[in-house]
Amino acid sequence: MSLNNKLVQSMSNRNVGDYLDLLHEDFVATFHKSGDTFSKSEWAPMVTGMMENEKFIQESSRCVYENDDILVMHTFMSYPDDSREAVMLVAMLKDGKIISMETGATALD
């Protein structure tokens, strides 16, 4: 199964353990808008909170491109405040896991 499919499946199933298993130990997430960065240990509780909230919904997702080095995804998300965004995710891969990830989002409405 591709990394994209594993990522989408872990989000759909709200399986935090499976999601975190896809992240390299040296993982760093970057928010494009703020420039804030998060290590895997900082990211884990954020992802847990998102997946535990039923109003945090990945409506649809598609793989734009994936190979052994990079994964590019486009996703439509709904949030607890009833807002929606189109999210572009770019993930750099190492040893079959996500080592860095950056997202950029556009508000929909």
Domain range annotation of the chain:
3-108
What is the token pair recorded at 83? 């807002």
At 96, is the secondary structure helix, strand, or coil? coil
pLDDT at 1: 79
pLDDT at 41: 98
Say which amino acid occupies 73: M
Domain 3-108 has CATH 3.10.450.50: yes
Instruction: List the pLDDT tens digit at each of the 109 positions of the chain.
Output: 799 999 999 999 999 999 999 999 999 999 887 889 999 999 999 999 999 999 999 999 999 999 999 999 999 999 999 999 999 999 999 999 999 999 999 999 8
Q: Which residues pair with 30 in a beta bridge?
A: 37, 102
43/102 Cα distance (integer angstroms): 12
- 101-108 long-range contacts, CB within 8 A, separation 24+: 101/27, 101/28, 101/29, 101/30, 102/29, 102/30, 102/31, 102/32, 103/29, 103/30, 103/31, 103/32, 104/32, 104/33, 105/32, 105/33, 105/77, 107/83, 108/76, 108/84
- Cα 8 → chain centroid: 9
